[in-house]
A and B are shown apart, each in its own frame.
Chain A
Amino acid sequence: MNKNDYMYLDHAATTPMREVAFEAYKKTEMDAYANSSGGHALSRKAKNILEESREFISSCFGAAPNEITFTSGGTEADNWIIKTPFVDQEKRSELTTTQIEHEAVIASAENVDKKGYKVNFISCDEDGITNAEEFKQSINANTLIASVMYANNETGVIQPIKEMSQSVKDVNPKTLFHSDVVQAVATKKIDFHSLGIDSAAISGHKIGGPKGIGVMFLKTGYKIPSLLHGGKQELERRAGTVNVSGVAGLAAALKEQQQNLEEETKLIENERKIFETKIKEEFDVKIIGENVQRLCHISNIQFRNINSETLMVALDLNGMGVSRGSACASGAQKPSHVLKAMNVDDEVINNHLRFSFGWNIEIGDGNKSAEILKNTIKEII
């Protein structure tokens, strides 16, 4: 759909692919389509693209090339790291995570719980910041993995990752500190080692890369079992023909993003602020995480006396795409587990909408979006 016809404010769900990413993807499919594990010239070409991309992508996060493995996306990376280490462990091993993780982590943790391991879901305060004391208390000699997302996908609220990692290491230096950084990489420069992150999940399509490609980062020294079994691709860590075109697309997207990160985030933040200011001027709304650190591209707004399901439909009809909590298979939407964990009242939990800006936002979009939202609210109240 033409950008001028439809105001897409759902970048936290996925972003349009950057032109450079699309070109790199297409070029690889056309010129280096061979299996990167093969033994002929075309395979070598694919393999070269794969490894060059790996070097570049890992460097963007301060990691070594052999610390990253390509996956089908963030969900696979989270599943891999959270679930597989518990396969052969003694039952006394424990997992600590938070109540506000992405479903990929929450559901993986529930799976670990079902297998009989102890899983601690740590609560958060009303701003969505994990309760530090409760988190620290849960770590012990048996804690195999502690998993905390860098920033929340529904609210954008950022966790004090470095401090949390440190508090884990203080108690148990062997614990793997995992962080789902899928949403954060959209607008944050992240260095895994300096933040104390031992493993991480990244998704290509949140930063203007292709869908179906992601990264599992695992610090040198840690070893986890494979999630997918089969061929001996990716240093025998992950079976399956490598999605080289996806990797090339992701590298190209990251390159453009990293070069323009400051400029991009400044524009996004500016337009988001204009949008929020205009809405606050006219309506009694609450912006989630307004007084804490949050990602600049996410604005989760609580409206008074407005059902967000109706508002979302009305916005769509007026040419603006936003989202509520997580969509279920049928398309109907459920109250958010993140907002529940933040103790948002039952009465207003269905009054939230997430507006998320992205790399292709232009000057004036904040204003334009605010106008559409204002007019739509007036229609439905």
Chain B
Amino acid sequence: MRILVAMSGGVDSSVVAGLLKSQGHDVIGVTMKLWEGPNGEMPETGCCTSADSEDARKVAAKLDIPYYVLDYTASFSENVIDNFVDMYSQGLTPNPCVECNRSVKFDHFIDQAKKLNCEKVATGHYAKIVKNSDSFELHKADFLDKDQSYVLHMLDSKKLAQIEFPLGTISKPEVRQIAATLGLKTAFKKDSQDICFVGKKDYRNFVSKRIDVSSKGLIVDKHENEVGTHGGIHAYTIGQRKGVPGGQGEAKYVTKIDVENNKIYIGSKDELTTKKFLIEDVSFVDSIEYDNLSIQTRYNSDDVPCNIQKVDESTYQIELKNPTLGVAPGQFGVIYQDTKLVGGGRITSKVLEEVYE
């Protein structure tokens, strides 16, 4: 079948293209240009650099598949960048990869694939799609250290039917081995870890260049005692220790961000633990499950056993069986039943009110 492969220029997507090609599929490689400089140039750092697209082009040439760089900058800017900046200004901790997957990679990209007569799209994500009798399930990758199902939680059965994740059963060293065997120049390329459009720079500068966030405010403890001042709430996230005024010996962390009153609350590590919180804009892969559930509250965090309870159509309350650190509004709560991904939604700031009750 004809498959459109998203090629970032990294080893993972290179191997996806190689594997699908060797399985006899009609593979088309595409680098999504997500982000650009003021004159339309590809960025120099982060991912989506011109060096990356050049790597992707070389891999495509080696595999003898058609290859294109397509412009997704408008969609990315509108759905990912604006959202990223907006979330920080609201004292939330955004996850741009989730937004990108939701609105760019597995929406706009799938549409384009259909127009190009492709039956499926494929990416280098580490996750598994399992076909059931009449639906598709999303599972964690076999090698859990690389599992990326968290950032794919918004994909429902209908979407999964149009996607291939060929790396779900393969370990990273094996991926590199395959790349080397296929003679792909990306075989030993370093993985990118940064937020693609921020790169190695501080995200705070990125945000403050785009909106006025410099308004100074107070840093207080849970009893509203003033312990310092801050230069703008965008520079703080829940659980942050850096830049927080220290107490006598005991480390202090950001425990709450009060946007309305422009106040940062700090406290001890204990005050960061959460037991109950809400997730909103919840979606489920297929049917809702209630038994033997666990939740990840950040990408690659541990699974915490939980119960879920419906609040309304798109809001659920999560009750953790053990109080947990670092549940940050803006991040996603992703619910699993063993390796099967059940669904997920965005953690709301209401979690913090629970903490203070």
Contact = CB atoms under 8 A, between A and B. Distances in A.
B114 to A, nearest CB: 9
B304 interface: no
Interface in B53-104: 53-54, 57, 66, 68-71
A317 B28 contact: yes
B116 interface: yes
Given A330-B50, A330-B53, 7 more contacts: A310-B112, A316-B66, A330-B33, A331-B69, A332-B69, A333-B71, A380-B116
Contacts of A328: 40-41
B115 interface: yes
B42 interface: yes
Count class of interface residues, chain A: 10 to 19
A361 B57 CA distance: 30
A213 to B, nearest CB: 28
Contacts of B71: 309, 332-334
B50 A329 contact: yes
Contacts of B70: 309, 313, 332
A166 B116 CA distance: 51
B214 interface: no
15 contacts: A313-B68, A314-B115, A314-B117, A328-B40, A330-B31, A330-B53, A330-B69, A331-B68, A331-B69, A332-B42, A332-B69, A332-B71, A334-B71, A379-B115, A380-B116
Interface in A285-331: 309-310, 313-314, 316-317, 328-331
B325 to A, nearest CB: 42
A330 B39 CA distance: 13
B70 to A, nearest CB: 6
B117 A379 contact: yes
Given A331-B53, A331-B57, A332-B33, A314 B41 contact: no
A317 B53 contact: no
Contacts of B57: 331
Contact of B115 (A310, A316, A330): A310
A160 to B, nearest CB: 32
A328 B36 CA distance: 12
Contacts of A330: 31, 33, 42, 50, 53-54, 69
A331 B50 CA distance: 10
Interface string B24-47: 000010010100000011100000
B34 to A, nearest CB: 10
A111 to B, nearest CB: 14
Nearest to B54: A330
Nearest to A329: B50
B116 A310 contact: yes
- Interchain residue pairs A-B with the least CB separation, the first 5: A331-B69, A380-B115, A332-B69, A332-B33, A332-B71
A105 to B, nearest CB: 17
Nearest to A333: B71
Interface in B196-244: none
A242 B316 CA distance: 76
A314 B116 contact: yes
A333 B70 CA distance: 8
Interface residues of B, number: 19
Contacts of A331: 53, 57, 68-69
A317 B26 CA distance: 11
Contacts of B69: 330-332
A317 B66 contact: yes
A269 B57 CA distance: 36
Q: Which of A329, A330, A380 has the most CB of B within 10 A?
A: A330
A39 B133 CA distance: 84
Contacts of B42: 329-330, 332
A329 B57 CA distance: 12
A313 B53 contact: no
A330 B31 CA distance: 10
Nearest to A328: B40
Nearest to B49: A330
A380 B116 CA distance: 7
Contact of A313 (B40, B41, B54, B116): B116
Nearest to A306: B115
Interface in A356-381: 379-380
Contacts of B116: 310, 313-314, 317, 380
Nearest to B48: A330
Contacts of A316: 66, 68
Contacts of A334: 40, 71
A333 B41 CA distance: 10
Contacts of A309: 70-71
Interface in A242-281: none
Nearest to B4: A313
B11 to A, nearest CB: 20
A309 B69 CA distance: 10
Q: Name which of A310, A329, A331, A380 has the most chain B CB atoms within 10 A of its CB.
A: A331
A317 B115 CA distance: 12
A328 B39 CA distance: 10
Contacts of B50: 329-330
Contacts of A310: 112, 115-116
A334 B37 CA distance: 12
A162 B69 CA distance: 41
Contacts of A314: 115-117
B115 to A, nearest CB: 4
A54 to B, nearest CB: 38
A136 B192 CA distance: 55
Contacts of B33: 330, 332
A313 B53 CA distance: 17
A380 B50 CA distance: 29
Interface in B150-193: none
Most chain A CB within a 10 A radius of its CB, from B31, B40, B42, B66? B40
A332 B116 CA distance: 17
Interface in A321-357: 328-334
Contacts of B115: 310, 314, 379-380
A314 B113 CA distance: 10
Nearest to B68: A313
A334 B71 CA distance: 8
Contacts of A379: 115, 117
Interface in B117-150: 117
A247 to B, nearest CB: 33
